[in-house]
Amino acid sequence: MNAHINHSLKNIAKHIPDNPEERLTPEMRRLLLSGKYRFDMHTHIFNRDYIPDKYFGIRIPFMVNAEFLEYVESMLDEVDTLEEDKLRYYAYFIDFASKNSMEQIVKYLINNSASNTIFAAIAMDFVTSIDDKVKKGYKEQIRDLAKVRDKYPDIILPFLEINPNNPDAIHIFKEAFTKLGFFGIKVYPSLGYLPSHPLLMEIFEICEQKNIPVIAHCGVGQVHTSQNFPEIKYVEIDENGKWHIRKQKKMFFFKNQFVKFFNKPQNWETVLRAFPNLRLNFAHMGGEDDWDGVAKTDRQWTLRIFDFMERYPNVYADVSYILHRKEMPSLFRECYNNNDIVKERALYGTDFYMITTEGKFKEMRMRFISEVGSEIMKVISVENPVRFLGLENLLKNGENNKQDS
């Protein structure tokens, strides 16, 4: 174990198996061996209990009840303007977040997805970064997610967000990977940290050695820290490979400032230099701005991600959230057919239920799948996810992996 890792993390790492298959439930292992499965590599199932009132930077009225939301949706269904569509979808999103439990959300997800779909279910540590009240803390969220996984052990694959600004981050990491059976990690930098934060760098070192996959938010998004003047820690690596911890104060006033500074893929250069075999998925494949219209050619974030794919063997990217765009299937199919590295590393994900702010989940999912085609879907929802997760030995090719809608 490298000298960079502190003593506490070294002890935790001893209890994490090197082979990711050993972090699977027996039920999920059997499903994978059957060959009759597909993956949705990006979902969220937390409900209102874990979300600050000021989520998205505004106050969400979680006090409204389900009957009122149904009434709003029914009224808006009668109108066809774009603005009222957005209001209807917003009510649709709030309805998911307002469910009484994670399990209610999971049941909807199962009923509106292809059979035998395995869902990467991602926890989010809002409490550390958004200064507002929540009903339940982050530790309760990950324990409740583990309970949901225990009820659906063949299809829920839990991912833990590590927020290095959380003073309990090491303890949370330990509990998730030595007691609760979590499989992977998520990082959401615009919650107020860089991926090269010293604590994250130590955890990524364990991830590389233990084949723990990492999902990184990389795109536009509403969610960001509520701190406008954060002190940011990060690691610089000199020409001799020595780590230097730096600090800087930053000032932010607008959403785009948080997004551009924290979420850009360039921030991962230091991480990948240090850990070139890290299993890393750039969620949203650069984000909507990079896929905004058929004529768009200046895809700076997406092209940077493709460059990382070319240079590092375990870098992937998923199409979550951006799949809602009506032009996305044709754009993605063109990109897939003309770029071998995209064929090898693209992943299917939806970003349920965040994507419901853009429309009805099942309609968007089915449109993307039908227009992309079963051959491509087999690669991005079966073969590539298994490789990203380090489960190649369980990969089953052939007719058993037919895609349905």
What is the mean predicted confidence (pLDDT) over 219-235? 84
SS3 (DSSP) at 349: coil
pLDDT band at 405 (very low <50, low <70, confident <90, very high): low
Q: Which residue has the higher pLDDT, 204 or 223?
A: 204
8 A C-beta contact, residue 367 and residue 329: yes
Burial state string for 26-36 with b = 16 or more CB within 10 A and e = fewer than 16: eebbebbeebe
Arithmetic mean of pLDDT, 115-140: 91
pLDDT for 256: 78
Return the domain boundaries, the chain.
Answer: 7-62+98-390
Local confidence band at 188 (pLDDT 50, 70, 90 cut-offs): very high
Helix (H, G, I), strand (E, B) or coil at 283: strand
**Alpha-carbon distance 253 to 228, whole Å?**
6
55 preceded by a cis bond (ω within 30 of 0): no
Instruction: Give yes or no for a contact between 371 and 329, defined as CB atoms under 8 angstroms apart.
Output: yes
* pLDDT for res 1: 43
- Could you give the CA distance from residue 17 to residue 26 in angstroms, rounded to a whole number? 15
What's the number of CA atoms in the CB half-sphere (13 Å) around residue 286?
19
Number of helices (H), then strands (E), belonging to the chain: the values are: 16, 10
Q: How far apart are CA 85 and CA 401, in angstroms?
A: 36
Contacts of 45 (CB under 8 A, 6+ apart): 102, 105, 106, 109, 119, 121, 145, 148, 353
> Would the pLDDT of 343 be above 80?
yes
Place 189 in a pLDDT band, splitting at 50, 70 and 90: very high
Give residue for tokens 């850990």. 275
- Residue 125, CA atoms < 13 Å, CB-side half-sphere: 25
Q: What is the mean pLDDT of the chain?
A: 87
* pLDDT value, residue 98: 81
| Biggest distance spanned by C-alpha atoms of the chain | 65
Question: What average pLDDT score do residues 231-241 get?
Answer: 93
pLDDT confidence of 192, banded at 50, 70, 90?
very high
Q: Give the model confidence (pLDDT) of 299-341 as tens digits.
A: 689 999 999 999 999 999 999 999 999 999 999 999 999 999 9
98-102, 185-189, 243-247: the lowest-pLDDT one: 98-102
pLDDT of amino acid 63: 46
For a pLDDT cut of 70, what percent of the chain falls above it?
A: 86
pLDDT in tens, 76-127: 555 454 455 667 777 778 888 888 899 999 999 999 999 999 999 999 998 8
The CATH homologous superfamily to which domain 7-62+98-390 belongs is: Metal-dependent hydrolases (3.20.20.140)
Nearest partner of 190 among 158, 157, 227, judged by Cα: 227
- Predicted confidence (pLDDT) at residue 268 exceeds the cutoff of 60: yes
Query: In sequence order, which residues have a C-beta less than 8 Å from that of residue 272 and are 6 or more positions away?
Result: 278, 280, 308, 311, 312, 315
